[in-house]
Amino acid sequence: MSEIRILPLGAGQDVGRSCILITMGGKNIMLDCGLHMGFHDDRRFPDFSVICKDGPLTPYIHCVIISHFHLDHCGALPYMTEVVGYNGPLYMTYPTKAICPLLLEDFRKVTTDKTTQQGPYTTEDIKNCMKKVIPVSLGQTVKVDTDFEIKAYYAGHVLGAAMFHIRVGQQTLVYTGDFNTTADRHLGSAHIDRCRPDVLITESTYGSTVRDSRRARERDFMAKVVDCVRHGGKVLVPVFAVGRAQELCILLETYLERMNINVPIYFASGLSEKVNTYYSLFVSWTNEKIQSTFHQKNVFEFKHIKPWDRSYVEQPGAMIVFASPGMLHAGYSLHLFKKWAPDEKNMIIIPGYCVANTVGSKLLLGQRRFMFDGKEIEAKMQVHYMSFSAHADAKGITQLIRQCQPSNVVLVHGEDLVMDFLRGRVKDELKIPCFKPANGETIVIETPHGIPVDIEPALVQQLKEETIDVGRSAKRTKQMQGTLIIKDGRLRLVRPSTAMNQLGLVHHIVQFHSRFPTTANIRPIQLVSLVQLLERELNNSDNELKHRIILISDNLLHIDNKQLRVSIETNGDIDIAWTLNNEQLGQRVSSYIKSFIDQHTSTSNVITISDSAASPDPM
Are 178 and 73 a contacting pair, CB within 8 Å? yes
CATH 3.30.310 location in the chain: 511-598
2-210+390-442 — its CATH code?
A: 3.60.15.10
Band of residue 619 on the pLDDT scale cut at 50, 70, 90: very low
* Per-residue pLDDT, 522: 67
What does pTM read for this prediction?
0.73
Are 20 and 5 a contacting pair, CB within 8 Å? no
Band of residue 367 on the pLDDT scale cut at 50, 70, 90: very high
Residues 6+ apart with CB under 8 A from 543: none
214-385 — its CATH code?
A: 3.40.50.10890
Cα Rg, the chain, nearest whole Å = 35
* Per-residue pLDDT, 397: 97
* Per-residue pLDDT, 583: 85
- What letter represents residue 302's amino acid? F
Count CB neighbours of 559 within 10 A. Answer: 22
* Per-residue pLDDT, 611: 46
Tell which wins on pLDDT, 613 or 589. 589
Of 377, 302, 305, nearest in space to 346 by CA: 377
Helix, strand, or coil here: 4? strand
- Strand 141-145 and strand 133-136: the pairing is unpaired
Q: Quickly list DSSP for 96-156.
A: HHHHHHHHHHHHHHHHS-TTT---SS-HHHHHHHHTTEEEE-BT-EEEEETTEEEEEEE--
- What letter represents residue 516's amino acid? F
Q: How far is CA 39 from the centre of its chain?
A: 31
Band of residue 97 on the pLDDT scale cut at 50, 70, 90: very high
pLDDT surpasses 90 at 51: yes
Count CB neighbours of 126 within 10 A. Answer: 21
Distances (CA, A) of 190 to 175, 216, 413, 502: 13, 22, 17, 46
pLDDT surpasses 90 at 341: yes
Distance between CA 444 and CA 20 in Å, rounded?
Answer: 14
* Per-residue pLDDT, 605: 47
- What are the residue numbers of the active site? 203
pLDDT surpasses 70 at 607: no
- What letter represents residue 553's amino acid? S
* Per-residue pLDDT, 555: 84
Tell which wins on pLDDT, 541 or 176. 176
* Per-residue pLDDT, 614: 41
Of 515, 513, 514, 517, nearest in space to 607 by CA: 517
Band of residue 41 on the pLDDT scale cut at 50, 70, 90: confident
Give the mean pLDDT of the chain.
88
Band of residue 562 on the pLDDT scale cut at 50, 70, 90: confident
Over residues 301-317, the mean pLDDT reads 86
Distance between CA 104 and CA 93 in Å, rounded?
Answer: 16
Q: For 484-511, what is each residue's pLDDT tens digit?
A: 988 777 889 998 888 888 888 887 778 8
* Per-residue pLDDT, 273: 65
pLDDT surpasses 60 at 615: no
pLDDT surpasses 80 at 512: yes
CATH 3.40.50.10890 location in the chain: 214-385
Q: For 216-254, what is each residue's pLDDT tens digit?
A: 888 999 999 999 999 999 999 998 777 778 888 888 888
Distance between CA 261 and CA 227 in Å, rounded?
Answer: 12
Q: List alpha helices for 206-271, DSSP H.
A: 214-230, 244-259
Distance between CA 573 and CA 429 in Å, rounded?
Answer: 62
Band of residue 601 on the pLDDT scale cut at 50, 70, 90: low
pLDDT surpasses 80 at 578: yes
* Per-residue pLDDT, 156: 93
DSSP tally for the chain: helices H, then strands E? 17, 31
Band of residue 523 on the pLDDT scale cut at 50, 70, 90: low
Distance between CA 217 and CA 351 in Å, rounded?
Answer: 10
Of 573, 510, 522, nearest in space to 551 by CA: 522
Distance between CA 20 and CA 177 in Å, rounded?
Answer: 10
Over residues 286-297, the mean pLDDT reads 87
* Per-residue pLDDT, 374: 86
The dihedral sign for the CA sequence 260, 265, 267, 273? positive
Q: For 163-176, what is each residue's pLDDT tens digit?
A: 999 999 989 999 99
Residue 224: how many CA atoms within 13 Å on its side-chain side? 19
* Per-residue pLDDT, 231: 92
Compute the CA torsion angle 440, 196, 157, 350 (nearest 10 deg): -60
Long-range pairs for 607-611: beta carbons < 8 A, 24 or more residues apart: 607/516, 607/517, 607/518, 608/517, 609/514, 609/515, 609/516, 610/514, 610/515, 611/512, 611/513, 611/514
Tell which wins on pLDDT, 588 or 445. 445
Of 161, 125, 168, nearest in space to 144 by CA: 168
By CB atoms closer than 10 A (0-12, 13-18, 19+), residue 521 is exposed
- In the sheet that holds 564-568, the strands lie side by side as 549-553, 556-559, 564-568, 574-579, 511-516, 610-614
Are 96 and 130 a contacting pair, CB within 8 Å? no
Q: How far is CA 3 from the centre of its chain?
A: 21
The dihedral sign for the CA sequence 561, 564, 569, 574? negative
Flag the least confident range among 291-300, 327-336, 415-424, 541-550.
541-550
Domain boundaries 511-598, CATH class: alpha beta
Over residues 290-305, the mean pLDDT reads 84
